[in-house]
């Protein structure tokens, strides 16, 4: 493993850890347990409480394990971008996604950079910065995958 690759891997792990420890409660965490408990409960949960971290992990696992990848076509919310769950799912599944799904993910990553700003003061500057960094990283990775195996027309 090259030094550059090792540094990139370390940066990725730090980014993942940062998202799993986000602070400031939004969406599902703000309203407490309810009907959203389950497959999508982590999309709006961005604080660093054990409950929200668990929700994000469960949601990410569910999305990654979903063979139909139905989540790809679900409209994301700004909170979903801030939680990082959808972007991590795209990042994790990029080698399995169709070209259309990759393009949708790339568009979503590009949109996430601007959508997070719409949350205003509901995110700390660090949370907003991490969200934008993750969106940029995922967007680049998806574009590389598109360039590698999708024909441009």
Average pLDDT over residues 48-66: 90
pTM: 0.72
Q: Could you identify the residue written with the tokens 């790809």?
A: 72
pLDDT band at 153 (very low <50, low <70, confident <90, very high): low
Q: Answer yes or no: is pLDDT of 150 > 60.
A: yes
Take residue 50 and report the two structure tokens written for it.
Answer: 């054990």
> What pLDDT does 10 receive?
44
d(CA 74, CA 83): 15
Mean pLDDT of the chain: 77
> What pLDDT does 102 receive?
97
Q: Indicate the domain borders of the chain.
A: 3-149
Which CA distances in Å does 102 have to 6, 27, 63, 145? 25, 27, 15, 8
Q: Answer yes or no: is pLDDT of 22 > 80.
A: no
Average pLDDT over residues 5-24: 43
Q: Answer yes or no: is pLDDT of 101 > 50.
A: yes
> What pLDDT does 17 receive?
42
Q: Answer yes or no: is pLDDT of 130 > 70.
A: yes
More confident residue, 26 or 37: 37
> What pLDDT does 104 receive?
95
How big is the chain, counted in residues? Answer: 153
Rg of the chain taking only CA atoms, in angstroms: 15
Neighbours of 103 (CB within 10 A): 15
């Amino acid at each position: 493993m090259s030094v550059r690759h090792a540094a990139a891997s370390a940066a990725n792990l730090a980014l993942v850890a940062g998202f799993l420890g986000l602070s400031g409660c939004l969406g599902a965490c703000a309203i407490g347990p309810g009907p959203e408990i389950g497959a999508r409960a982590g999309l709006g949960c961005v604080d660093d409480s054990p409950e929200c971290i668990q929700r994000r992990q469960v949601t990410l696992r569910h999305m990654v394990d979903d063979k139909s990848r139905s989540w790809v076509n679900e409209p994301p919310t700004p909170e979903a971008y801030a939680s990082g769950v959808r972007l991590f799912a795209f990042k994790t599944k990029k080698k399995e996604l169709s070209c259309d799904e990759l393009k949708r993910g790339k568009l979503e990553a590009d949109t996430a950079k601007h959508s997070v700003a719409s949350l205003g003061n509901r995110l700390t500057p660090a949370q907003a910065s991490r969200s934008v960094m993750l969106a940029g990283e995922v967007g680049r990775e998806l574009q590389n995958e598109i360039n590698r195996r999708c024909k441009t027309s």
